[in-house]
C-alpha cells in the first residue's frame, strides 16, 4: 500500500531536480501526478514514462492564468486536488546590492515568491470546497540564514517561509495543511543554470558536484533530490496530518551550528592562546 494511494498531486518544476524526484516518489507511492514545468519535452516525457496516473501540463509559475488552469486541470483530469507542491525556481538575480537591477529584483520575486502565492491561492480555491488538502512549497536554508545564496533569492525564500506560516493559520480552519521544506545543498541543475548552462548540460553537471557537496555540511553525504522528496512526501501525506505551518529543514546539519571539527580547531587555538598569555603573565611577574 502506498502512502499516497488515491491522492491527486500537482508538482511544479517537475522536469528536473527536486521536482522530478518528488513527482517520481509521489507516483511510486500511489498518487495520480500532474507534472508541470516550462520544459515541455522533458516534462511530457517523464509523464509518459510514469504512464498511468501521470499527466503533463505546462505552467509558467509567473503566470496566474497558468497556475489557475493547472489546479483546475488536476481536478478535472483526476477528480480532485489533494496535494500542491510549489517547487519551480531558479537562482534569479545575483549581484552586490548596489548593482542589483530593479528588473532583476522583479523577475526574481515573480519567480520565487509571487509564484508560491499564486500556487497557494489556486490550490486553496480548489481544495477549500472539499475541506482537505496539503500544500507544500520549496523554501531554502537561504531563507533562514544569510550567506547561502544571493540577496533577492534569500529574501524570497524567507518570505516563502513566512507566507507558509501565515496562510497555514487561515487554511487550518478549512482542513488544509500548509508547510514548506528548506533544502540545504542539493545536486540539481539549478547551479549549472545559474552559470548560464542550458538545461541538459546543467542536469549532466549535477552528479559531478558530489565531491564538493560531501564536505559542505556536517553529514558526509552529498545531498540528493531524493532526500528532499522523502521530506516532501512526509509533509504531503497523512503521516503529517497534525503538522501545519512548519518549515522542515533538510540540510545534513548545514545550518544547525558550527561543525564539531571547526569547534575543536577553535578550542585548540583558544587553549594555545591561553597558555601563551599565562606564560607571558608569569614572565612579567616572576615569583608571583
Ligand atoms: N538545489 C538546491 O541546492 C536547492 C536548495 C534550496 C532550495 N532549492 C529550491 O528547490 C526548487 C527546485 O530547484 P532544483 O534545485 O530542483 O533546480 P532545477 O533547476 O533542477 O529544477 C527547477 C525546475 O523549475 C523549472 N522552472 C524554472 N522556471 C520556471 C517557471 N517560470 N515556470 C515553471 N517552471 C519553471 C525548471 O524548468 C526546472 O525544471 C527551487 O525552488 C530552488 O530554489 C534548491
3-state secondary structure the chain: CCCCCCCEEEEECCCCHHHHHHHHHHHHCCCEEEEECCCHHHHHHHHHHHCCCEEECCCCCCCHHHHHHHHHHHHHHHCCCCEEEECCCCCCCCCCHHHCCHHHHHHHHHHHHHHHHHHHHHHHHHHHHHCCEEEEEECCHHHCCCCCCCHHHHHHHHHHHHHHHHHHHHHHCCCEEEEEEEECCCCCCHHHHHCCCCHHHHHHHHHHHHHHHHCCCCCCCCCCHHHHHHHHHHHHCHHHCCCCCCEEEECCCCCCCCCHHHHHHHHHHHHHHHHHHHHHHHHHCCCC
Residue 256 is predicted with a pLDDT of 97
242 found inside a domain: yes
Same domain, 23 and 150: yes
Same domain, 218 and 287: no
127 found inside a domain: yes
Residue 13 is classified by DSSP as T
25 found inside a domain: yes
Residue 10 is predicted with a pLDDT of 99
Residue 285 is predicted with a pLDDT of 84
**In sequence order, what are the residues at sequence separation of 6 or more whose Cβ sits closer than 8 angstroms to the Cβ of residue 269?**
none
Question: Residue with the nearest Cα to atom 36 of ligand 1?
Answer: 13
CA–CA distance, 36 with 54 (Å, rounded to integer): 11
Same domain, 250 and 161: yes
72 found inside a domain: yes
Q: Are 252 and 218 in contact (CB under 8 A)?
A: yes
Same domain, 242 and 287: no
**112 closest CA partner among 150, 69, 160:** 160
182 found inside a domain: yes
Same domain, 101 and 146: yes
Same domain, 188 and 269: no
Same domain, 223 and 262: no
> Which one of 22, 64, 90 would you pick to mutate in the ligand 1 pocket, going by the greatest count of ligand atoms within 8 A of its CB?
90
CA of 69 to the centre of ligand 1 (A): 21
Question: Residue with the nearest Cα to atom 40 of ligand 1?
Answer: 89
Same domain, 264 and 204: no
Report the CATH number at residue 84: 3.40.50.720
99 found inside a domain: yes
CA–CA distance, 202 with 209 (Å, rounded to integer): 11
Tell me which residues are annotated as active site.
153
User: Cell numbers of 241, please?
Assistant: 496530518
Same domain, 244 and 266: no
User: Cell numbers of 78, please?
Assistant: 483526476
Same domain, 44 and 119: yes
CA of 201 to the centre of ligand 1 (A): 15
Q: At what angle do helices 102-109 and 151-172 cross, to 10 degrees?
A: 30
CA of 122 to the centre of ligand 1 (A): 20
Same domain, 263 and 139: no
Residue 286 is predicted with a pLDDT of 65
Same domain, 264 and 209: no
Ligand 1 proximal residues by C-beta, below 6 Å: 12-13, 15-19, 37-39, 60-62, 87-90, 111, 138, 140, 183, 185-186, 188-190, 193
Question: Residue with the nearest Cα to atom 17 of ligand 1?
Answer: 190
Question: Residue with the nearest Cα to atom 25 of ligand 1?
Answer: 13
What's the domain count of the chain? Answer: 2
CA of 142 to the centre of ligand 1 (A): 14
Which contiguous run of DSSP H or E holds residue 250?
Answer: strand 247-250
Which ligand 1 atom is the nearest neighbour of the CA of 138?
Answer: 41
β-pairing, 247-250 vs 133-138, is unpaired
CA–CA distance, 243 with 143 (Å, rounded to integer): 20
101 found inside a domain: yes
CA of 175 to the centre of ligand 1 (A): 28
Q: At what angle do helices 17-28 and 225-236 cross, to 10 degrees?
A: 50
> Which one of 56, 60, 190, 222 would you pick to mutate in the ligand 1 pocket, going by the greatest count of ligand atoms within 8 A of its CB?
190
Which ligand 1 atom is the nearest neighbour of the CA of 153?
Answer: 43
2 found inside a domain: no
CA of 183 to the centre of ligand 1 (A): 11
Q: At what angle do helices 151-172 and 115-127 cross, to 10 degrees?
A: 20
The separation between the first and the last C-alpha atoms of the chain, rounded to the nearest angstrom, is: 77
Q: What is the pLDDT along the chain (288 residues), one digit of tens a residue?
A: 999 999 999 999 999 999 999 999 999 999 999 999 999 999 999 999 999 999 999 999 999 999 999 999 999 999 999 999 999 999 999 999 999 999 999 999 999 999 999 999 999 999 999 999 999 999 999 999 999 999 999 999 999 999 999 999 999 999 999 999 999 999 999 999 999 999 999 999 999 999 999 999 999 999 999 999 999 999 999 999 999 999 999 999 999 999 999 999 999 999 999 999 999 999 998 665
> Which one of 89, 148, 163, 255 would you pick to mutate in the ligand 1 pocket, going by the greatest count of ligand atoms within 8 A of its CB?
89
Which ligand 1 atom is the nearest neighbour of the CA of 19?
Answer: 16
- Name the residue range of residue 121's domain: 8-257
DSSP codes joined into one string, 123-156:
HHHHHGGGT-EEEEEE--GGGTSSSSS-HHHHHH
Amino acid at each position: 500500500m502506498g502512502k499516497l494511494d488515491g491522492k491527486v498531486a500537482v508538482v511544479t518544476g517537475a522536469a528536473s531536480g527536486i521536482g522530478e524526484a518528488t513527482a517520481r516518489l509521489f507516483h511510486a507511492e500511489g498518487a495520480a501526478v500532474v507534472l508541470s514545468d516550462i520544459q515541455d519535452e522533458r516534462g511530457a516525457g517523464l509523464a509518459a514514462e510514469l504512464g498511468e496516473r501521470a499527466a503533463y501540463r505546462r505552467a509558467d509559475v509567473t503566470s496566474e492564468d497558468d497556475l489557475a488552469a493547472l489546479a483546475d486541470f488536476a481536478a478535472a483530469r483526476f477528480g480532485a486536488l489533494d496535494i500542491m507542491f510549489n517547487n519551480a525556481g531558479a537562482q534569479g538575480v545575483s549581484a552586490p546590492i548596489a548593482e542589483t537591477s530593479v528588473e532583476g529584483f522583479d523577475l526574481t520575486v515573480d519567480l520565487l515568491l509571487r509564484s508560491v502565492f499564486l500556487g497557494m491561492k489556486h490550490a486553496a480555491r480548489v481544495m477549500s470546497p472539499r475541506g482537505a488538502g496539503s500544500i507544500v512549497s520549496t523554501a531554502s536554508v537561504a531563507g533562514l540564514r544569510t550567506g547561502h545564496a544571493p540577496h533577492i533569492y534569500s529574501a524570497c525564500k524567507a518570505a516563502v517561509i513566512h507566507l507558509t506560516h501565515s496562510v497555514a493559520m487561515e487554511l487550518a480552519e478549512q482542513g488544509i495543511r500548509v508547510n514548506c521544506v528548506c533544502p540545504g545543498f542539493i545536486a540539481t541543475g539549478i547551479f549549472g543554470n545559474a552559470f548560464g548552462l542550458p538545461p541538459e548540460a546543467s542536469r549532466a553537471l549535477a552528479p559531478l558536484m558530489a565531491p564538493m557537496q560531501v564536505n559542505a555540511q556536517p553529514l558526509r553525504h552529498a545531498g540528493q533530490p531524493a532526500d528532499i522528496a522523502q521530506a516532501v512526501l512526509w509533509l504531503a501525506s497523512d503521516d503529517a496530518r497534525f503538522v501545519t505551518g512548519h518549515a522542515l529543514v533538510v540540510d545534513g546539519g548545514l545550518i544547525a551550528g558550527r561543525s564539531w571539527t571547526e569547534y575543536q580547531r577553535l578550542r585548540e587555538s583558544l587553549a594555545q592562546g591561553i597558555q601563551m598569555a599565562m606564560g607571558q603573565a608569569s614572565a612579567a611577574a616572576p615569583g608571583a
